[in-house]
Copies of this chain bind each other. A is one copy, B any other.
Amino acid sequence: MTMGSGEMCRFGVLTASDRASSGDYEDLSGPAIELFLGEAVTSPWEVVRCLVPDEQSLIEASLEELVDSDGCSVVVTTGGTGPAPRDVTPEATEAVCERMLPGFGEQMRAVSLRHVPTAVLSRQTAGIRGSCLILNLPGSPRSIREILDEVFAAVPYCVDLIGGPYITTDSSIVDAFRPPHARRE
């Protein structure tokens, strides 16, 4: 798969974390997502980063800006998906999405359950706002990678279907699938 067969895609990476946003510790989760994108995506892309505390209104405002103002076609969040009272990323995601894609949450939990039984506690979800896919990931960099390795295979075709750019991937990292009629070249 050669560079340039796809179109420029802007990815939003939103880290929701009280402690990382206050400078208590370094955000390792956002960079883990970018590292994956650097390895997996072969079509042109750029990233818009966002680091916010676990406040639903702030997460919602950031998601809206990433989609509506920054023109992101995919926004990946990390953090705030557990059962603790300060975990509100799924609520913020659902509030700004026009429709939900329940399969992502199911698959992400199933992937993580192979590694740790407490994956069942994650409330992560995914949905569509305009022509942008918003996807919640957990906070742990290791879990992020385990999930993206598997789930990202469906992202390019999803973006096609909702009117976004044509994304291509390195099949040695992620074997993105499109039905034959949707493939270019």
Contacts and interface: CB of A to CB of B under 8 A. Distances in A.
Q: How many copies does the complex hold?
A: 3
A83 B101 contact: yes
Contacts of A68: none
A23 interface: no
A48 interface: no
Given A82-B161, A83-B158, A101 B117 contact: no
A82 B122 CA distance: 24
A38 interface: no
A106 B113 CA distance: 11
21 contacts: A82-B161, A83-B99, A83-B101, A83-B161, A83-B162, A84-B162, A85-B162, A99-B123, A101-B121, A102-B105, A103-B109, A103-B120, A103-B122, A106-B106, A106-B110, A106-B120, A117-B177, A119-B154, A120-B154, A121-B158, A121-B161
